[in-house]
Amino acid sequence: MKSNIGFIGLGIMGKPMALNLIKAGQNVTAFDINKTAVEQLAAVGAKPALSIQEAVENTDVVITMLPSAKHVKDVVLGANGVASFAKADSIVIDMSSLSPVDSVEIAAALKERGIRMMDAPVSGGEPKAIDGTLSIMVGGKEKDFAATKHIFDIVGAETVLVGDNGSGATAKLANQIIVNLNIAAMSEALVLAAKANIDIEKMYQAIRGGLAGSTVLDAKVPLILDRNFKPGGRIDINLKDIANVMDTAHSIGVPLPLTSQLLEIFHALKADGKATDDHGGIVQYYEKLAHVEVGRK
């Protein structure tokens, strides 16, 4: 099944996702303020767009993959935004990571203009975006999900319709708690082992097959040992997500003591100039406290 897709947001995650859609034979019109990214996709078959209007006016589906709620609202609802030019009954799939409140608000505004919307944030970082094996959490209507399932199947390995609008965003917040607290716990353990002067790589091999083993452990420990903090999931983006977690939790009366501490760790890392590091760089916060560096012997 082939769709005409307008893809807006060609960053760390968006560009490989759009590339996979092109490779799968979808008609992709690409737009980003980064003209180089647009040109790179045009070179492999995308139609380049010079404006949001060009990106969406002849498409059935619009995908946005942007850094924050402000960016999504500006692009979708702002002057000369998606809502001004998208066809009636077209579907907007926002794959950014927003709060459920923002997602529901945007969906309601689009509905008034006869445009359907789903929130569909992803998990897996840049490697899974490149491989097309992302996990995708979707909030929206069943008929819209069915109409776009072929698109999700190209960019993801596991896609679940969680519920109505905002449900995908809520599931992503839960995901971010688990992933980032996992990295923080792992970091504490690695720093303890480093300070005790044992071989971290051998310790990793010893524990990865037990209950402490996880996707996070396997994804992040090798990078930390190589001191590779090239961003797949940036600290500042995860800080934004965890801030959304705390705002949402407080609004519905849910205390999150561990996550609140994690938010402060992210703020400390940002203040220390680590904002653009991968969130595996959380280990650097603990290293600074213990005056030790985790690495290979």
Cα–Cα dist 193/163, whole Å: 43
pTM more than 0.95: no
Contact (Cβ atoms closer than 8 angstroms) between residue 157 and residue 133? yes
Q: What's the mean pLDDT in 195-206?
A: 96
Is 15 in the active site?
no
Q: Give the Cα separation of 261 and 153 in Å (integer).
A: 36
**pLDDT at 265 exceeding the cut of 80:** yes
pLDDT over 70 percentage in the chain: 100
Beta-carbon contacts of residue 24 (< 8 Å; ≥ 6 apart): 154
Q: What's the mean pLDDT in 62-70?
A: 94
- What are 137's strand-pairing partners? 160
Average pLDDT over residues 126-154: 96
pLDDT digits (tens, 9 = 90+) for 22-62: 999 999 999 999 999 999 999 999 999 999 999 999 999 99
Q: Give the residue from 193, 280, 293, 198 showing the smallest Cα distance to 235.
A: 280
pLDDT at site 202: 96
Cα distance from N-terminal residue to C-terminal residue, the chain? 52
pLDDT exceeds 90 at position 280: yes
Active-site residue, selected from the candidate residues 15, 172, 220, 240:
172
State the Cα–Cα distance between residues 2 and 157, nearest whole angstrom.
Answer: 19
pLDDT tens figures, 76-127: 999 999 999 999 999 999 999 899 999 999 999 999 999 999 999 999 888 8
Name 136's bridge partners: 122, 159
Rounded percentage of the chain residues whose pLDDT exceeds 90: 95
Structural domains in the chain plus CATH codes: 4-164 (3.40.50.720), 171-290 (1.10.1040.10)
Q: Which range, of 15-19, 208-212, 231-235, averages the lowest pLDDT?
A: 231-235
pLDDT for residue 297:
77
Q: For all residues of the chain together, what is the average pLDDT?
A: 96
Question: b/e string for 43-63 if b means 16 or more Cβ within 10 A?
Answer: eeebbbbeebbbbbbebbbbb
Output the pLDDT for position 96: 94
| Backbone angles phi and psi of 199, in degrees to 5 | -75, 110
pLDDT value for 201? 95
Strand 61-64 and strand 4-8: pairing?
A: parallel
- Cβ-Cβ contacts under 8 Å for 114 (sequence gap 6 or more): 88, 89
